[in-house]
Amino acid sequence: MSYRRVVITGLGCISPLGNDIQSTWEAVLAGESGVGLITHFDTTDFRTRIAAEVKGFDPVQSIGKRLARRTDRFTQFALEAAAQAIHDSELSIDDGNRDRIGVIIGSGIGGVSTLINESWKYLDRGPKWVSPHMIPMMLPDSAPGYIAIAHGLRGPNMTIVTACASSANAIGEATEMIRRGAADAILAGGAEAAIVPVALAGFNSMNAISTRNDAPTEACRPFDLERDGFIMGEGAACLVLESYEIAHARGAKILAEVIGYGATSDAFHMTAPAENGIGAGICMQNTLANAGLAPEQIDYINAHGTSTKLNDVGETQAIKATFGEHAYHLAVSSTKSMTGHLLGAAGALESIFCIQALQHNVIPPTINHHTPDPECDLDYVPNDARQQELTYVMTNSFGFGGHNACLIFGKV
């Protein structure tokens, strides 16, 4: 069976650094942080009072008042990011191709704010006050469902829920569908809007998130010795994936090619990574094999790099086990140092950063990297972006439950 090449022709995002691709990318290259004091709710009683919120997003302006009232914030983000990606791709959708265009959106948590708000209504006022829109608003598959409705896309449609690997898996599985001919194009990505009191409280109870409230922009410090946890983020990112042959035939602007995809399970622990990062290492090795590349051909890795004690060490160990001596010649950076952790949407946003890096031959920095950790001894592109010729780049996404997903993008 012959497999088709898969390319990226459009990008869109809503992020803590900007509400489109250009503003987000410019902020990343400038090493700006999207972290600040939480404005969504009163954090007086919380140990952590900071997060990376989306700023200045008006859902009414984006999708209209009626739809804004019937959708959760994560779906609103997804709809805007998808619309941007379709516009960027100049993909014309009509009755001749809509049955062959799908949507796969990853979300680790879905409409949690809707669930919480409607639960309070139920507890305060009783069952009759619960919204008839509650169920479709809270379901994680509302995002791809509404995107399909908005654009008339009748191809494969689904949500992937693999915690923080969700949107990387969405891109990978979309790639596999196009490769084998199950679709000609797929909008793939992720969306998350989980900066809500109960989620913040839960992560605080796990001691998983930073409490550096007095210096929000310096709080997320992946691979730094003084890191004390990740920063919650929110937003959405969407990519238009297409068969190379069809994209080329329509004269599409081709941004990058999806060269490889891998997915594994640690089968170890629900929240801690496997010892020595073995599951992540196997995932990277599988992705290289899927791409048909040698380790030495990878120029840059956009790391999962959450700024937690265990993850950063485990990922470093996994990179060294996978790449051997080449690990010390690789550029490795964590853009979560600027965006915070978008949970299920992280992989898609970081895939966009990889594609932009390929387009512009520049590597995003890891900001707030000031005190080296002896256990994290790679080149993390500290604090400043770096110009470098790039051909192949990898992105890692690892999630609670032991989910690992890796993608390799290349120039066309």
Active site residues: 164, 304, 341
The label of the residue with tokens 């200045």 reads 56
Pairing of strands 403-410, 256-265: antiparallel
Alpha-carbon distances, residue 126 vs 56, 122, 129, 357 (angstroms): 34, 4, 6, 52
Question: Which backbone phi and psi does 272 adopt, to 5 degrees?
Answer: -90, 140
Question: Which backbone phi and psi does 71 adopt, to 5 degrees?
Answer: -130, 150
Contact between 217 and 340 (Cβ < 8 Å): no
The label of the residue with tokens 């550029």 reads 331
One-letter amino acid of 337:
S
Alpha-carbon distances, residue 50 vs 13, 34, 40, 90, 302 (angstroms): 22, 10, 11, 38, 24
What 8-state DSSP symbol labels residue 243? Answer: E
H or E element: which one contains 280? helix 278-291
Tokens linked to 103: 């949507």
